[in-house]
Amino acid sequence: MPKLKRAEGEERATDFVESLDRGIRLLQVFGTIGGPATLSDLARAADLPRATARRILFTLEHGGFVTSDGKLFTLTPRVLTLAASYLQSSQVVTVLQPVLDRIALAAQEISSLAVLDGDEVVFIARGSPTRVFSAGLDIGYRLPAFCTSVGRVMLGQFDDGDLTARLAAMRREPMTPHTVTDPKRLLACVRGDREQGYSLVDREAEPHFRSISVPVRRYDDVIVGAINMGAHVDRVSTNEMIERFLPLLKEGAESVKSMLL
């Protein structure tokens, strides 16, 4: 007798591995605690029963991802292999890294690649003229999408209806006195950036920092990331960013479009 095919919703529900979901959640709360933590602290932060958190922690300890002195639990460097797996398997990083290096050398400034993750942007690659990253945004660094140039060019991929709903729903805490938080003004900013093909954000994410970004599109015109350059406001003007940085960013993004699948 042939097997009946499960409905899509039913298949998702039965295939969900709750223990894996809880383990990932427990790993993530280490970042919110900011140091070694007790079993009770971690269970409470992850909203898990103490016995469940204990089993998960011992499993992670067995795998080498967590260490304990008998009372306090700490992540080990092995956790970084999870991030390394993403970076090494990401086609966007592989294709864009030589571009970032090239435009950083041409501009003598650090360049960065970011992707959209929910309401935040995550920086996943960098290029430097010296290959010594003494300043700028570290790989893995997160910022709100609404007040960053990389975020605004990636938010431009959504139609006005979806964009309006996203901006209204996301947290819009001011990062500096210059941060635009009003959803109507933000909608106008993103729409304007979409039309001109780039975004320049001046002191909205950081008090003395401005940056310029362009979207990175794959072969079918879908936005998969954004590349940017930024500098201290006393060192680089907005005009210089548009005249000197923007052509390099545009050329770099266009050069990889046919290579991204």
Closest CA relative to residue 126, chosen from 147, 116, 141, 144: 141
Chain-centroid distance of CA 5 in Å reads: 37
Domain total in the chain? 2
| Residue 166 to residue 160: CA distance in whole angstroms | 10
Residues 120 and 178 in one domain: yes
d(Cα 65, Cα 53) in Å, to the nearest integer?
Answer: 14
pLDDT in tens, 164-204: 999 999 999 999 999 999 999 999 999 999 999 999 999 99
Question: pLDDT digit string (tens) for 76-85?
Answer: 999 989 888 9
pTM score of the predicted model:
0.83
222 within some domain? yes
Specify whether 217 is located in the same domain as 129: yes
Distances (CA, A) of 8 to 2, 11, 79: 18, 5, 33
Distance (Å, whole) CA 198 – CA 213: 6
List the CATH number of the domain containing 65. Answer: 1.10.10.10
- Among residues 199, 239, 202, which one has the least CA distance to residue 216? 199
Residue 218 forms part of a structural domain = yes
Same domain as 212, residue 95 = yes
Q: Give yes or no for a contact between 103 and 127, defined as CB atoms under 8 angstroms apart.
A: yes
Range of the domain at 159: 90-259
Helix and strand numbers (H, E) in the chain are: 11, 9
Clarify whether residues 97 and 72 are in a common domain. Answer: no
Measure CA of the first residue to CA of the last residue in the chain; give whole Å: 41
Residues 45-88 have pLDDT tens digits of 999 999 999 999 999 999 999 999 999 999 999 998 988 898 88
Please say if the pLDDT value at position 144 is more than 60.
yes
Flag whether 162 is in a domain. yes
